[in-house]
Structure 1
Amino acid sequence: MEFVILLVALVLSLSIIFNKRILKRPKQPLPPGPSGYPIIGCLPEMLRNKPTFRWMLDYMQAFSTEIACFRLGSVHVITISSPELAREFFNVQDSVFAARPGNMTGRLTSDGYLSAVLAPGGNQWKKMRRVIVSEVLTPSVHEFLHGKRCEEADHLVRYVYNQSKTGVAINVREAARLYCGGVIRKLVFGKRFFGAGTEAGGPGFEEKEHMDAVWIILSYTYGFAIADYVPLLEVFDFDGHKKTLTNAIKNLRKYQDPEIDNRIEMWQNGIRKTNDDILDILINLKDSNNNPLLSAEEIKAQVIEMSIAVIDNPSNVAEWSMSEMIRDSRILERAIKEVNEIVGKKRVVQESDLPKLNYIQACIKEAIRLHPVAPFNLPHVSTEDTIVSGYFIPKGSHILLSHLGLGRNPRVWDEPLKFNPDRHITNGSSQVVLTDSQLKMWTFGVGRRGCPAILLGSTIMTLLLARLIHSFSWTSLSTSPLIQDSNLFPFMAEPLMAYATPRLEPQVYQYLI
């Protein structure tokens, strides 16, 4: 199979040897990297070494470099694990590297680049980003949707409480994803479940299928598909990425698109008259001629993007934070002491409490640093030839910032593999913020492609972890839990299973039931 792939790639890609970028001989060198083969570059190594991100990071570690170049087909993929280099790419030369590459997986996920984050650039990207920043993720809309977020936080506590009464261990990963999935569905569609859910309040078949589709899309979009680097091979789908991603998108849209079509029809027929959620807001945006600003296709593509953007990081952060806290009881006790002093035991944590929960936010930031949900940021692409730190970066290069490489860089962090929230508290009174403008770790990004959902993301992450820690005492199934990264992804190899015991006054839970 590998021989067939290489042979087809050779035949279909011969023309690139005449590409002026390859013929050009810049004075500055490319970043260090494996030499690769003529025309196809390192595609054979990419296929042999799965997951690709670990192969790339292992190469950088073996050769003690914080920047590397892997040529995949005709594309130079530049990986970075240095905050200084990251600032050069994404701050100093942001105008050169603000675009996204156009490729198969990004195109499929965004339905032809109709959404804000995955669009390469140009007028469509500007339009959709303006919609998200100016109409959806504003402070006023955040406040408007406050009640829906609280409903899902209450449902989380109610679900864990009901499970705890049965004496079974709680699947913390499932509980965290239940909350995150419920939040985004409630914010966008105004409903927690697409189906009936379970009697205990957990996800039903529909929500599980929807959530499975979300994680597949997250894993396969810009997931080193062959066709992302040799577009002519897309029709063959040698690695199966296109089929897998297409099926996942189909499963996601099976639940989301009918909701959107029905809502549009309700507005057109005058059945619905007031905005209640994000979907209403998107449908009712108008252009200068008072016509709908967004087509149904644009709304559906943007909803897909929002669905996959909200779930991954908060649920991963909560699970890793809980795992590290349970393993080190001193950290957990300090976090509990903080919520006890701020909130007490006669009510649950509310969003208004979050700015005061400094240590819990430090734990969240440490989990993001040490245990990022994705190995790299979404790729940026250079729109022109340029020089960065003495290296030649050709036009069309894909720029990948290593979350693991930054957060675990021993030159930047003392004891980088140790979970130590105190490293983010510079003095006793300083307020922890989850962003990092110096790019010593990757949180919400910077520049034109920085994440616009900082307020929403921070709120969801902090409230999720705070509710779990404050509302229950946690005991691991093992007296000395061993936690480790998955071989395929940076999240935990196995879901965290722990016993939960209610720790608030009984009437608090009765109020939530």
Structure 2
Amino acid sequence: MNMNVTNPYCFTLALFSVALVMSLALRYLRKPKGAQLPPGPTGWPIIGNLFQMVMNRPTHLWIHRVMKNMQTEIACFRFAGVHVITVTSSEIAREVLREKDEALADRADSYSSNLISHGYKDIIFSSYGESWKLMKKVMVTKLMSSSTLSKTLGDRTLEADNIVTYVYNLIPLESMTKSVNVRDVALTYSHAVMMRMMFGQRHFEEPTEDGGLGRKEREHMDAIYQAIDCFYSSNISNYISCLRGWNIDGEEAKLREAVDTINRCNDPIIQERMHLWRNKGGKETEEDWLDTLIMLKDDQGMPLFTLDEIRAQCKNINVAAIDNTMNNVEWTVAEMLNHHEIIEKATNELDMVVGKERLVQESDIPQLNYIKACSRESFRLRPANAFMPPHGAIEDTTLAGYFVPKGSQILVSRLGLGRNPKIWDEPEAFKPERHLYDRAGDSMGVTLMEPDMRFVVFSTGRRACAGTKIGASMTIMLLARLLQGFEWTLPPGTSQIELVPAESNLFMAKPLVASVKPRLALHLYPKMQI
């Protein structure tokens, strides 16, 4: 989200407040004799590059512009007392996430991360430590284990069927073609899968007649995206903690409203389920992730998680389950519409691997190498956000030979890695074929994993996303179902899709609209199952 700096009083007040914490800032500025920080732009006394950050929006474009002008793949920006180290090199990114993984496994403290996580009671935003390790273990071994994902396969297949039916029902029978909002379709699927797996239900209230998102689901989804935008925005209070709660940038009020909305949607289900399990004996079996979180016990047989910890974990799943799939599928379809030969190759692969007598299933994904290559290329070229969530330095360390002080924030650039000309030939071009062959020119199996950090999908190391398998399956299943079930073409009167990203995030600036008509026998389009 863009910050509002039109009020000079607010900004003057912020700068004045910085002076009050000069001693704190100076503590961060000390470094060992002879130690050299990464190169960076010249800043002001005390506030460093804070004024430049405020005056150059969006911040991620300014940071990348500065690094390009300085011809560096690692840079240091000082925002008041905080060093922010930015990285656009795959070699340095691997150092961050492998060699120095433990030293840089912390998270940055901010108003947004604190509010979203109910005071750091979650896995995404909380500091590195024993509590975090326990939550990560639960996510990996319980919620995201192979056995759990196998048990919930039916829920995901159900929603893959539903999204095909939803699109089919949008098409008038008399014309058999329709202009469809691809973003709305992707969001409908992503939200429904997340709800099924987390809460065991598709809707908060009454289902809609057409199978799309209802009023409360849209409010929930909009609030999730608002919270994500606030987290990724560069607020002054991120770097001057005494200003938190003053709403200087206007972002904190938006975030509070978003978190309140998410809580209004989630909390009644969580509280009712906790009462059911802990006061009324529960259900016959644990059916979804919420059941599992509630029923986990510690060594003394007591509930492992408190109400607020469960609320925080549910909000983590909300935040993590939606943006990547929606963003990737929308950009991939947009690129395909501009390159007819790519969409033709993708549908030909589906016809060869799956055929036209049944719908594609998750079990087909290992063989859909070209479709996975298209998705990988979109992740490389069109990430949802410019940077990964910041890593925090637990101790003094080094990166690429430069000194990194304790308390520094390290931002690995998704854009910088994915479009680095030292890594990629024609980095601005959409070329799925680049992912089909290894460096020796031999064909290889394609996955969405990228452990070498040549671009970012799900990250790696201690802070890697626990839901890589489910995230990859959701993305490829949605893309494959849309391509198999329908013929996608440019809207009438359009010669090309305008590929322009938004500023606050990197989603398409305008939701993608495309013409669609069925390409399978009518009996293959299932009935909606609410």
Class of the TM-score when normalised by the shorter of the 2 chains = over 0.9
Residues 17 and 23, structure 1, Cα contact 8 Å, conserved in 2: no
Aligned position for 1:341: 352
Residues 271 and 7 of structure 1, relative CA distance in 2, 3 Å threshold: closer
Distance in 1, matches of 2:225 and 2:11, equals: 31
Distance in 1, matches of 2:477 and 2:262, equals: 26
2:459 maps to 1:445 = yes
Aligned position for 1:487: 503
The counterpart of 1:460, out of the listed 474, 479, 492, is 474
Aligned position for 1:169: 179
- Comparing 331-340 with 429-438, greater Cα deviation is found at 429-438
- Comparing 384-393 with 177-186, greater Cα deviation is found at 384-393
Residues 180 and 314, structure 1, Cα contact 8 Å, conserved in 2: yes
- Comparing 237-246 with 402-411, greater Cα deviation is found at 237-246
Aligned position for 2:254: 244
Aligned position for 2:215: 205
Residues 327 and 481, structure 1, Cα contact 8 Å, conserved in 2: yes
Residues 184 and 310, structure 1, Cα contact 8 Å, conserved in 2: yes
Superposition pairs of residues 222-301 of structure 1, within 5 angstroms: 222-267=232-277, 268-301=279-312
Aligned position for 1:14: 22
Secondary structure in 2 matching 1:106: helix
Distance in 2, matches of 1:495 and 1:214, equals: 17
C-alpha deviation, 1:271, in angstroms? 5.0
List gaps (5 residues or longer) in structure 2.
1-7
Aligned position for 2:224: 214
C-alpha deviation, 1:358, in angstroms? 0.7
* Deviation digits for residues 433-466 of structure 1 (CA, Å, limit 9, x no counterpart): 2111111111111111111211111100110100
C-alpha deviation, 1:429, in angstroms? 4.1
Residues 161 and 526, structure 2, Cα contact 8 Å, conserved in 1: no
Aligned position for 1:366: 377
Residues 163 and 36 of structure 1, relative CA distance in 2, 3 Å threshold: same
C-alpha deviation, 1:428, in angstroms? 6.1
- Comparing 235-244 with 470-479, greater Cα deviation is found at 235-244
- Comparing 176-185 with 424-433, greater Cα deviation is found at 424-433
Secondary structure in 2 matching 1:76: strand
Distance in 2, matches of 1:336 and 1:349, equals: 12
| Regions of 4+ moved over 4 Å | 510-513
* Deviation digits for residues 26-84 of structure 1 (CA, Å, limit 9, x no counterpart): 31321111121111111111111111111111111122211111111100001100001
Distance in 1, matches of 2:524 and 2:267, equals: 38
TM-score, normalised to structure 1, is 0.97
C-alpha deviation, 1:103, in angstroms? 2.2
- Comparing 28-37 with 176-185, greater Cα deviation is found at 28-37
* Deviation digits for residues 242-265 of structure 1 (CA, Å, limit 9, x no counterpart): 211111010011010100001111
Residues 233 and 504, structure 2, Cα contact 8 Å, conserved in 1: no
Distance in 1, matches of 2:501 and 2:245, equals: 34
Superposition pairs of residues 137-216 of structure 1, within 5 angstroms: 137-165=144-172, 167-216=177-226
Residues 18 and 416 of structure 1, relative CA distance in 2, 3 Å threshold: closer
Equivalent position amino acid for 1:509 in 2: Y
* Deviation digits for residues 289-324 of structure 1 (CA, Å, limit 9, x no counterpart): 111111111111000000110101011110000001
Distance in 1, matches of 2:34 and 2:95, equals: 20
Distance in 2, matches of 1:85 and 1:271, equals: 50
Residues 94 and 447, structure 1, Cα contact 8 Å, conserved in 2: yes
Residues 172 and 496, structure 1, Cα contact 8 Å, conserved in 2: yes
C-alpha deviation, 1:223, in angstroms? 2.2
Secondary structure in 2 matching 1:95: coil
2:70 maps to 1:63 = yes
Superposition pairs of residues 31-110 of structure 1, within 5 angstroms: 31-110=38-117
Secondary structure in 1 matching 2:137: helix
Residues 42 and 71, structure 1, Cα contact 8 Å, conserved in 2: yes
Aligned position for 1:434: 448
* Deviation digits for residues 366-423 of structure 1 (CA, Å, limit 9, x no counterpart): 0000000011001001111122222111111100001000000011100000000110
Residues 222 and 379, structure 1, Cα contact 8 Å, conserved in 2: no
Equivalent position amino acid for 2:464 in 1: G
TM-score, normalised to structure 2, is 0.94
C-alpha deviation, 1:235, in angstroms? 3.2
Equivalent position amino acid for 1:455 in 2: K
Residues 350 and 103 of structure 1, relative CA distance in 2, 3 Å threshold: same
Residues 12 and 232, structure 1, Cα contact 8 Å, conserved in 2: no
Q: Percent identity?
A: 40
Aligned position for 1:4: 12
Q: Say what the alpha-carbon RMSD is for the aligned residues.
A: 1.5
Residues 25 and 80, structure 2, Cα contact 8 Å, conserved in 1: no
Residues 338 and 3 of structure 1, relative CA distance in 2, 3 Å threshold: closer
Distance in 2, matches of 1:7 and 1:226, equals: 10
Aligned position for 1:117: 124
Equivalent position amino acid for 1:464 in 2: L
- Comparing 199-208 with 465-474, greater Cα deviation is found at 199-208
Residues 26 and 81, structure 2, Cα contact 8 Å, conserved in 1: no
Distance in 2, matches of 1:257 and 1:26, equals: 52
Residues 65 and 185 of structure 1, relative CA distance in 2, 3 Å threshold: same
Aligned position for 2:431: 420
Distance in 2, matches of 1:292 and 1:210, equals: 28
List gaps (5 residues or longer) in structure 1.
none
Residues 472 and 501, structure 1, Cα contact 8 Å, conserved in 2: yes
